Amino acid sequence: MAAMFAETDAELAARLAVQTGQILVGIREPLFASGAPQWEVKDAGDAAAQAFLAAELHAHRPDDAVLSEEEGQTDQRRFDAERVWIIDPLDGTREFSEPGRTDWAVHVALWERDRFGAAAVSLPAANAVFATEPAPPLPQVERERPRLITSRSRAPYSAVLVAEGLGCDAVRLGSAGAKAMAVVMGHADIYVHDGGMYQWDSAAPAAVAMAAGFHASRLDGSALVYNARDPWLPDFIVCRPELADDVLRSIWG
């Protein structure tokens, strides 16, 4: 299938993640400089990122369906499609709207039949992109205690159980993509989330993490499955592979 296109799916995913991020960086600072309120920064970012990704996917993959945070379930083709792009044009709108924060992301993933075909996550404010091809190397880390990354606003009960069970040091960060990529980069060892999430929040981060050799699953250890009719996918684990059994044991006993 990829040979039919000028860009492979992996190349397209990475390019779109990078270019969407560049657009977002380009509109963010002028808005801050003009004194725009946070809601305006959020809305402008969401709209610009969605418009660009929608146009590019329509131009370069017109036969593929799209599931996007900004459009919900409007593309009904996805229910019968073998190829569905699952995108979050701006993951972490709160962080995007706060000057100086870098923990926001762009997610682009392709779900092909029953598995990932390609994916990329960019951290535009950090000028970084992580893709499934080539996948990031699994970093070597040496820590006395595992480092657990959690939400800025709340510590999910599952994360509390893991922190207590493994004696973790806790770190707080913004968007789901930023947290998952912190594990991929070796800045943290475990990311556990429960209590609310959608397919577009975890698809690209999960794909990149698994391509790099990390464990990624539902909270009960089952496989992550995408393009279900209900976009709700409320829980998510990304961790170093050697910690997966201990993480699951801490949650479930």
pLDDT tens digits, 97-149: 999 999 999 999 999 999 999 999 999 999 999 999 999 999 998 899 999 99
* Terminal-residue alpha carbon distance, the chain: 44
With cut-offs at 50, 70 and 90, classify the pLDDT of residue 42.
very high
* pLDDT attached to residue 93: 95
% pLDDT > 90, the chain:
83
148 membership: H or E segment, kind and range: strand 147-151
pTM reported for the whole predicted model: 0.94
What average pLDDT does the segment 220-248 reach? Answer: 95
Mind giving me the DSSP string for 196-221? Answer: --BHHHHHHHHHHHHHTT-EEE-TTS
Contact 215, 240 (CB under 8 A): yes
The predicted pLDDT at position 76 comes to 78
Q: What are phi and psi of 138, to 5 degrees?
A: -70, 115
Question: What are the tens digits of pLDDT across the range 155-184?
Answer: 788 989 999 999 999 898 989 999 999 999
- Angle, vertex CA 101, rays to CA 134 and CA 208, nearest 5: 20
Arithmetic mean of pLDDT, 49-67: 96
pLDDT at 185: 96
Question: Is the confidence at residue 239, as pLDDT, over 70?
Answer: yes
Q: Is the peptide bond before 30 cis (omega within 30 degrees of 0)?
A: no
Given pLDDT bands bounded at 50, 70 and 90, which one contains residue 3? very low
Q: Are 106 and 96 in contact (CB under 8 A)?
A: no
Give the pLDDT score at 153. 72
